[in-house]
Amino acid sequence: MNPHTALTRWSFSLVVGALLIAGCAAPNGESTGTDSTDAEAPSAKAQRIAAMKQVIDQHSFARPDEARITHLDWNARVDFGTRTISGTATYDITTAEDAERIIFDTHELTVQEVLVDGAPVDFPPLGESHPFLGRPLTVPLSPGAKQVAIRYTSSPDAGALLWVEAQGDKSPFLFTQSQAILARTWIPVQDSPGIRFSYNATVQVPEGLMALMSAENPTAVSDAGQYTFRMAQPIPAYLLALAVGEVEYRSVGDRCAVYAVPELIDEAAFEFAEMEDLLLAAEGLYGKYAWDRYDLLILPAAFPFGGMENPRLTFATPTIIAGDRSLVALVAHELAHSWSGNLVTNSTWDDFWLNEGFTVYFEQRIMEAVYGRETSEMLATLSYQGLVDEVDAISDLNPDDTHLKLHLAGRNPDDGMTAIAYDKGYFFLRLMEETVGRERFDTWLSSYFKEHAFGGMDTERFVEYLDRTLLVDAGDKAAVRLDEWIYGPGLPDNCPNVSSPRIERVDATLADWEAGKTATADLPWNDWIYQERYRFLSNIADDTPAERMADLDKAWSIGTTGNNEVLFAWMEQAIRSGYSPTYPRLEQFLIEVGRRKFLTPLYRAMKETGKMDMALDIYGKARPGYHSVATGTMDELLDWK
Ligand code: BES
Ligand code: ZN
């Protein structure tokens, strides 16, 4: 459904006009960068040009062309007893001259009171509820209105929030996950990535707990449980974040620190001691860091993602603590978002690849700068495999989802979170690097970030920019074939080659082992680093018998590894091979860990190998501890009622 179709009072031309005035499009009607149009009907091109002129976010009820927020003052109380957040969100707004209303996104919020410029107003009931978009809150405005305050309470089932209960001597914990469209479940807001605002906050939490946000943060617990925050740079709503728990602060550099629960703070400080090196490398590549500090918060294992790039404070899963710093690429990734995503932001979720593809590219470059080309090429090889598998997996069902530019109208933007945006996006940028040369590409990318800092970017404007600034040479342009990459299915055949001799040796070793060699004598497991181990385990043939898994386990006790990526790959194959000695560890893992990237393949492996009873038994125990983002996916996979 298009939420905007419900709004008839506001003319379409107003939208176009406002965006043109704001300089959001460059509709010169000539080159839009879609010049390999030979293969494409003119009407498709015309449609695309038209799309440039009206970048409407289908996943928000807000009408920023009429009235938009510019600053938030948030005053809130976090109540673990009722599992609610209640408070007042006061927004500074700017309006079009004739604006008569401002629209906010809400989802499962109860709105108690609305004030405009300090005076209570009658506001119409919230609009009809949509399953994932929620309900619009329309506030009537009189001419010249400057400020809107909304007093509200969140629901105990708010999709963004995970309330982790106190257990034994462990304190309770609360964290938010706002991306993509869940901010509206804990604060009424214009929840569109194209709308930015700065914020200040005052938050009351239970005594003894620390509160942290995507903002300037405290470094110690406040006795009274009251915290104030300031985010001076404008950010979109999906980067609003809050965490409350018994966490400690440990500095690991001039601009970097880790926050974690007391049990993990030492391990975390060791694991991420190199954060500042990553930050320096990133700045060396693409320009000054714009957010002052870069800290990392280790969340409870129920966190549904690996990491989330909340500005100034990346949220991360504890499953990246391996004891040997082998999984820091994830930190490089979230750090890279400080440029690609947080500074230059996808205008809509259809343009998600502009966030993630750029970030994977930037992540690889940071990894190369800090750990060398051999390591980064191994990561690129794994990324290539992930991409080929994903293209395979979704080509038949939803071929359009293999385009970089997505069409998510009417769907949950979560559907766009596939390896396409990440890895096809990465290889597309790498292709451009290899086509124009690294030096030119780097200079170009630095200016891209600088010129569009604190702004939005959509695919069509990006193509136009690319044409004008990077692919100016006809030969380069022809070599890249960007229409195929951006608007076409699958993986174009000019995809760059990655090669990693070490990964190739692993593949050869796997072939030998599958042909009957034994693990103890013939496998250099102990000499392998994580990427090699992961490659080996994730490429074992599905139908490998349990005895062969026993051979591996006996030789190297793989089921007890401290590296969760390796453990995950091991467990997935154990399920497929029916190697039952691993099942207790599997159950424990699934109850403890809520990271969707691990859950989906593990439950799916059980489902596909006739172990539905086992899957449902474990899921029944684990589900209460998972975040809504994970249960949403698993409920569907397992047909859970
Ligand atoms: N921003 C994403 C996480 C995300 C995307 C949350 C879309 C909600 C909707 C984050 O930067 C990310 O990509 N995390 C990855 C790790 C990364 C190393 C690929 C993850 O969590 O797996
Ligand atoms: Zn990312």
Residue 51 pLDDT > 70, yes or no?
no
Q: How many angstroms separate the CA atoms of 489 and 399, rounded?
A: 6
140 CA to centre of ligand 2 in angstroms: 37
Residue 244 pLDDT > 60, yes or no?
yes
Neighbouring C-beta atoms of residue 633, cutoff 10 Å: 18
Residue 300 pLDDT > 90, yes or no?
yes
Looking up tokens 């890249």, which residue turns up?
Answer: 480
Range list of β-strands (E), 307-411: 307-308, 313-316, 344-346
Q: What angle do CA 149, 150, 156 make, to 5 degrees?
A: 155
Residue 5 pLDDT > 50, yes or no?
no
Instruction: Pick the residue whose CA is nearest to atom 14 on ligand 1.
Output: 307
pTM greater than 0.85 (yes/no): yes
Query: Given pLDDT bands bounded at 50, 70 and 90, which one contains residue 560?
Result: confident
pLDDT, one tens digit per residue, over 84-108 is 999 999 999 999 999 999 999 999 9
pLDDT, one tens digit per residue, over 188-211 is 999 999 999 999 999 999 999 999
Decide whether any atom of ligand 1 lies within 6 Å of the 423 Cβ.
no
Could you identify the atom of ligand 1 that is nearest to the CA of residue 306? Answer: 21
Q: Give pLDDT, residue 44.
A: 56
Q: Is 334 a catalytic residue?
A: yes
Instruction: Pick the residue whose CA is nearest to atom 21 on ligand 1.
Output: 306
- What sections of 38-160 are H helices per DSSP? 42-53
Query: Given pLDDT bands bounded at 50, 70 and 90, which one contains residue 54?
Result: low
Min mean pLDDT across 279-293, 323-337, 551-565 is at 551-565
Residue 6 pLDDT > 60, yes or no?
no
179 CA to centre of ligand 1 in angstroms: 9
Query: Given pLDDT bands bounded at 50, 70 and 90, which one contains residue 524?
Result: very high
616 CA to centre of ligand 2 in angstroms: 30
Instruction: Pick the residue whose CA is nearest to atom 17 on ligand 1.
Output: 330
Could you identify the atom of ligand 1 that is nearest to the CA of residue 179? Answer: 8
Instruction: Pick the residue whose CA is nearest to atom 1 on ligand 1.
Output: 308
Residue 109 pLDDT > 80, yes or no?
yes
Judge residue 208's burial from the number of C-beta atoms within 10 Å of its C-beta, 0-12 exposed, 13-18 middle, 19 or more buried: exposed
Q: How many angstroms separate the CA atoms of 121 and 109, rounded?
A: 18
Could you identify the atom of ligand 1 that is nearest to the CA of residue 417? Answer: 7
User: What share of the chain has pLDDT > 70, as a percent?
Assistant: 92
Q: How many angstroms separate the CA atoms of 61 and 587, rounded?
A: 41
Q: Give pLDDT, residue 28.
A: 26
SS3 for 562-591 is CCHHHHHHHHHHHHHHCCHHHHHHHHHHHH
Which residue(s) pair with 486 in the sheet?
Answer: none
SS3 for 16-33 is HHHHHHCCCCCCCCCCCC
- For residue 79, the SS3 value is strand
Decide whether any atom of ligand 1 lies within 6 Å of the 627 Cβ.
no
The amino acid that residue 504 corresponds to is: E
Q: Give pLDDT, residue 315.
A: 99
Instruction: Pick the residue whose CA is nearest to atom 20 on ligand 1.
Output: 306
316 CA to centre of ligand 1 in angstroms: 10
In this prediction, residues 222-242 reach a mean pLDDT of 98
308 CA to centre of ligand 1 in angstroms: 6
Min mean pLDDT across 54-63, 290-299, 323-332, 526-535 is at 54-63
Residue 14 pLDDT > 70, yes or no?
no
Q: Give pLDDT, residue 140.
A: 98
Residue 38 pLDDT > 70, yes or no?
no
Decide whether any atom of ligand 1 lies within 6 Å of the 307 Cβ.
yes
341 CA to centre of ligand 2 in angstroms: 8
Spacing of C-alpha 467 from chain mean position: 28
- What sections of 373-481 are H helices per DSSP? 373-395, 419, 425-436, 438-451, 459-469, 474-480
Decide whether any atom of ligand 1 lies within 6 Å of the 179 Cβ.
yes
Strand pairing report for 84-95 and 67-79: antiparallel
Decide whether any atom of ligand 1 lies within 6 Å of the 337 Cβ.
yes
Q: Starting from the CA of residue 308, give the closest ligand.
A: 1
Residue 113 pLDDT > 80, yes or no?
yes
Residue 451 structure tokens = 């010129």
Q: Give pLDDT, residue 185.
A: 99
Could you identify the atom of ligand 1 that is nearest to the CA of residue 333? Answer: 18
319 CA to centre of ligand 1 in angstroms: 14
* 8 Å CB contact between 558 and 532: no
Q: Give pLDDT, residue 45.
A: 54
Characterize 7-23 residue by residue with b for buried, 16 or more Cβ atoms within 10 angstroms of its Cβ, and e for exposed. beebeeeebbebbeeee
The amino acid that residue 600 corresponds to is: T
Instruction: Pick the residue whose CA is nearest to atom 8 on ligand 1.
Output: 179
Query: Given pLDDT bands bounded at 50, 70 and 90, which one contains residue 266?
Result: very high
**Which residues are CB-contacts of 42 (< 8 A; sequence separation ≥ 6)?**
none
Instruction: Pick the residue whose CA is nearest to atom 22 on ligand 1.
Output: 306
Query: Given pLDDT bands bounded at 50, 70 and 90, which one contains residue 371?
Result: very high
Decide whether any atom of ligand 1 lies within 6 Å of the 77 Cβ.
no
* 8 Å CB contact between 164 and 302: yes
Residue 504 structure tokens = 């190739």
Distances (CA, A) of 236 to 78, 116, 203, 308, 342: 22, 22, 20, 14, 8
Q: How many angstroms separate the CA atoms of 431 and 185, rounded?
A: 39
Decide whether any atom of ligand 1 lies within 6 Å of the 334 Cβ.
yes
pLDDT, one tens digit per residue, over 622-636 is 999 999 999 999 999
In this prediction, residues 445-459 reach a mean pLDDT of 98
Instruction: Pick the residue whose CA is nearest to atom 18 on ligand 1.
Output: 330
Query: Which of 308, 366, 629 has most ligand 1 atoms within 8 Å of CB, for mutation?
Result: 308
User: What share of the chain has pLDDT > 90, as a percent?
Assistant: 90
473 CA to centre of ligand 1 in angstroms: 34
Instruction: Pick the residue whose CA is nearest to atom 6 on ligand 1.
Output: 179
80 CA to centre of ligand 1 in angstroms: 27
404 CA to centre of ligand 2 in angstroms: 15
Q: Give pLDDT, residue 431.
A: 98
Residue 370 pLDDT > 80, yes or no?
yes
Query: Which of these is catalytic: 274, 334, 390, 532?
Result: 334
Q: Is 448 a catalytic residue?
A: no
pLDDT, one tens digit per residue, over 455-473 is 999 999 999 999 999 999 9
Residue 75 structure tokens = 């005053």
Decide whether any atom of ligand 1 lies within 6 Å of the 417 Cβ.
yes
Q: Give pLDDT, residue 55.
A: 83
Residue 39 pLDDT > 90, yes or no?
no
Q: Give pLDDT, residue 303.
A: 98
Q: How many angstroms separate the CA atoms of 566 and 549, rounded?
A: 14
Q: What is the DSSP letter of 291?
A: S
**Which residues are CB-contacts of 521 (< 8 A; sequence separation ≥ 6)?**
none
Characterize 397-434 residue by residue with b for buried, 16 or more Cβ atoms within 10 angstroms of its Cβ, and e for exposed. eeeebbbbbbebbebbbbebbbbbbbbbbbbbbbbbbe
Q: Starting from the CA of residue 332, give the closest ligand.
A: 1
Strand pairing report for 135-140 and 101-106: antiparallel
- For residue 242, the SS3 value is strand
Decide whether any atom of ligand 1 lies within 6 Å of the 379 Cβ.
no
Query: Which of these is catalytic: 422, 448, 465, 626?
Result: 422
More confident residue, 47 or 303: 303
Q: What is the DSSP letter of 168?
A: T
Query: Which of 132, 175, 305 has most ligand 1 atoms within 8 Å of CB, for mutation?
Result: 305
Could you identify the atom of ligand 1 that is nearest to the CA of residue 330? Answer: 18
Q: Give pLDDT, residue 559.
A: 86
